[in-house]
Amino acid sequence: METHEHLFFRCNYSRQCIRILKGVVRFTWPNRAWAVDIAWASKRWNGRHIVQAAYRALLAAIVYHIWQERNRRVFQQSMRPSSTIARIVVDEMRQKIISIDLPDSVSSRGLYRLWRIPGLSGVPLDA
């Protein structure tokens, strides 16, 4: 039987998506029961700091794209590899971050570094 518990993030497919994303951007995911994980993320990523906001957006993007993939399989009988979903999530997150007019600050540079986005405001990340 399909449940949120299974789909987010117990099935091999969603676990692979998370594993790939962890290789791209550093984040912790406890991978316990769905309700426990959501409560954990709500508590941990609840601030106004730009990095916490990015983690919330990342979780929303992962859930959205896994659900979209589930619907693709159910209604269109087609599937994409987990690496494709992870790449889509990373690309969308990078575009969201780039589209925000961030000040040139330590936090902003940290966010760009975390997501491996070249320079903020034309300033190299090493500066």
Domain boundaries, the chain: 4-114
Buried b / exposed e along 91-123 (16+ C-beta atoms within 10 A)? eebbeebeeeebeeeeebbebbebbebeebeee
Average pLDDT over residues 1-17: 85
In angstroms, the CA 94 to CA 90 distance is 6
Q: Average pLDDT over the chain, rounded to whole?
A: 87
In angstroms, the CA 77 to CA 17 distance is 20
> pLDDT digits over 38-89, tens only?
888 889 888 888 888 999 999 999 999 999 999 999 999 999 999 999 999 9
pTM of the predicted structure, to 2 decimals: 0.84
Name the phi and psi angles at 124, rounded to 5: -60, 150
Look at residue 127 and tell me whether its pLDDT is greater than 50: no
User: What pLDDT does 57 receive?
Assistant: 93
